[in-house]
Amino acid sequence: MLTYQQQNPSAPLLPIGKIICLARTYAKHAAEMHTTPPTEPLLFLKPTSSVIFNHEPIILPPESTAVHHEVELGVVMGKPGRVIDEKKAMDYVYGYLLGIDITARDLQQIAKDHGWPWTIAKGFDTFCPLSPIIPKKNIKDPHALILMLSVNGVVRQHATTKSLLFTIPHIISFISTIMTLQKGDLILTGTPEGVGEIKQGDTLQASLASYTTLEHPVIRNQH
Ligand code: MG
């Protein structure tokens, strides 16, 4: 069983459930992708087999020649719920984490062109680096956190979660009308502007305010 505990042996045992991701939740990122933001959250899933933890390498697959970083705020669910009222949604949150939604942008573009799902572009092994969980009580306002990502020391993404187009309670409530949210499920809330390519030999560093950081080397797999 894959658990968040693997990052921190003293943390409570919590399985990593389904990983629900949002697309186009920051206006400037939607613009850089030449798209417009949706009126309700646009969802896709990443497999738990794509999860890696701090310092583990991101492996570029031979199927892609344009792998991109997307730094994101993650929300970890603490108890099950279905059709959750927005006003009570934060009661269901266990904590937060820093995640990177690694994306094979060229394969995603092919999928978009054909109207196909994004599963392949988003689902390769090592495409979901996750930090340890920060308990909910430690973060007063998840809507005012600085997300930062740099490649080889050069800042690529630097934005605040204030710019999220949907509130976290709305996101939780919306998802829960479609699928039951379970303890350990993770919501990756989407990336701000500044996404870009990573190459073999790069080092990615990311941070969620002063709460947590990630650092990952990038390597290429030839199969
Ligand atoms: Mg993303």
Give tens-digit pLDDT for 156-176: 999 999 999 999 999 999 999
Distance 201 CA to ligand 1 centre (A): 23
Distance 102 CA to ligand 1 centre (A): 7
Alpha helices by DSSP H, 2-89: 27-32
pLDDT (tens, 9 = 90+) of the chain, 223 residues, equals 889 877 677 777 899 999 999 999 999 999 999 999 999 999 999 999 999 999 999 999 999 999 999 999 999 999 999 999 999 999 999 999 999 999 999 999 999 999 999 999 999 999 999 999 999 999 999 999 999 999 999 999 999 999 999 999 999 999 999 999 999 999 999 999 999 999 999 999 999 999 999 999 999 986 6
Residue 36's CATH number: 3.90.850.10
Q: Is 6 among the domain residues?
A: no
**pLDDT at position 2:** 87
Amino acid at 49: S
Q: Is 64 among the domain residues?
A: yes
**pLDDT at position 67:** 98
Distance 7 CA to ligand 1 centre (A): 22
Distance 92 CA to ligand 1 centre (A): 22
**Structural domain tally of the chain?**
1
**pLDDT at position 24:** 95
Distance 186 CA to ligand 1 centre (A): 13
Q: Is 190 among the domain residues?
A: yes
d(CA 145, CA 78): 21
Q: Is 205 among the domain residues?
A: yes
Considering the entire predicted model, what is its pTM? 0.96
Distance 101 CA to ligand 1 centre (A): 5
Domain housing 126? 19-220
d(CA 44, CA 23): 8
Q: Is 11 among the domain residues?
A: no
d(CA 210, CA 199): 27
Q: How many other CB atoms are found less than 10 A from the CB of residue 31?
A: 13
Distance 100 CA to ligand 1 centre (A): 8
Spatial contact of 133 and 96, defined as CB atoms under 8 Å apart: yes
Q: Is 2 among the domain residues?
A: no
Q: Is 14 among the domain residues?
A: no
Beta pairing partners, 53: 130
Q: Is 106 among the domain residues?
A: yes
Distance 164 CA to ligand 1 centre (A): 13
